[in-house]
Chains A and B, each alone.
Chain A
Amino acid sequence: MSGDDLDALGALRDPVRRALYDYVAGRDHEVGRDEAAGGAGVGRTLAAFHLDKLVEAGLLDAGFRRLTGRTGPGSGRPAKVYRRSRREHQVSVPPRDYRTLALVLAEAVEELGGEEAAEAAARRAGERAKAPGLREALRERGYEPYDDDGGAIRLRNCPFHVIAEDRPVLVCAMNLALCEGLVAAVGEEDLAPRLDARPGECCVAFSKNKPD
């Protein structure tokens, strides 16, 4: 654990900051100050102050963009916009490092050709879920589910991001198996998980089973 990570997470203790962070992190687009202020229910000046504190802490990234869509003279100054930082912050007291162990185990699984056993173990882990519904089970595991326009549930966050970047095929296959287990555990079998990978999101989406 680094002191920087602890400082970064400490920045979330302030309730206004936490509300602003949650609002920005839950959007699929860069958020301007006015929108963030409205989303968190605070004034624009206060929002701007705390948004910049979150950038300093490394929890949000800031950029500039014209929100009006107009360009050229008279279109105004570009507005400051915010999005969740891709940087990960981990704090464990006492220090623990499960990430390195997971990377090592993933390498061993591939070397041994043990992908099927790993997927089966992931499915069993999902089947042990105790949540009342699929969305709760997903939220508990950090997936950040949302409903897309086509009636499917998609997942904004990959909880296994670092390991998935290192061994994408193994980790995404295990992730799908875990989600299959979750669906079985909560008894929502009409929501079928499948791989539908897109940049910047989790690789799994759930769509309603249609009777053929």
Chain B
Amino acid sequence: MHLAQLNVAHLRAPAHSPEIAEFIAALGPINAISDAASGFVWRLKESNDPTETVKHPYGDLLLINFSVWETRESLWNFVYRSPHLEYLRRRREWFTRVAEPYSVMWWVPEGHIPSLEDGMSRLDLLRAKGPGPEAFTFKDFHEPS
């Protein structure tokens, strides 16, 4: 099984505005690190232009990251043990604080590319019912059954 992760963030201003420019400029290098990382399988992209964020029907200020990894460790090492960590540390400069969960994981069969609708419903499930085998987090991790 492979591990899918969906992660949403609420931008403080539209993606093309000057307040967000530094973050948008970092997408190229950070995506390159993700795509070259050990255990990386797939990432949802709008196009090959890294500054073009994923388009979706969930609101213009919602930024979506959606990817599939071979293991928990490979995803953890990209998120927290790579230059990505510095952008997480500075997240408040570009994103508003949200009280509810903004990141969800679940297991998918190898070779399966999950849909964004599936990901958003997993996030809803996590928000409504808390972590479980169908929708979980790093902190409340579930191994594949």
Enumerate chain A interface residues (CB-CB to B < 8 A): 113, 115, 166, 168-169, 172-173, 176, 194-199, 203
User: 11 extra interchain contacts, Cβ-Cβ under 8 A, other than A195-B85, A198-B81, A203-B85?
Assistant: A113-B97, A168-B79, A169-B89, A169-B91, A172-B85, A176-B89, A195-B86, A197-B81, A197-B85, A199-B81, A203-B81
**What is the CA–CA distance of A173 and B85 in the complex, to the nearest angstrom?**
9
- Interface size class, chain B: 10 to 19
Contacting residues, chain A, for B85 (C-beta < 8 A): 168-169, 172, 195, 197, 203
Contacting residues, chain B, for A196 (C-beta < 8 A): 83
Contact string against A for B residues 121-140, beta-carbon threshold 8 Å, 1 for contact and 0 otherwise: 00000000000000000010
Contact of B89 among A113, A166, A195, A198 (CB under 8 A): A195
Chain B residues touching A, majority SS: helix
**What is the CA–CA distance of A169 and B86 in the complex, to the nearest angstrom?**
9
Q: Which of B86, B91, B97 has the most CB of A within 10 A?
A: B86
Check B82 for interface membership: any CB of A closer than 8 A: yes
Contacting residues, chain A, for B83 (C-beta < 8 A): 195-197
Contacting residues, chain B, for A195 (C-beta < 8 A): 83, 85-86, 89
Cβ-closest chain B residue relative to A169: B88
Q: Which of A113, A176, A196, A199 has the most CB of B within 10 A?
A: A199
**What is the CA–CA distance of A197 and B88 in the complex, to the nearest angstrom?**
12
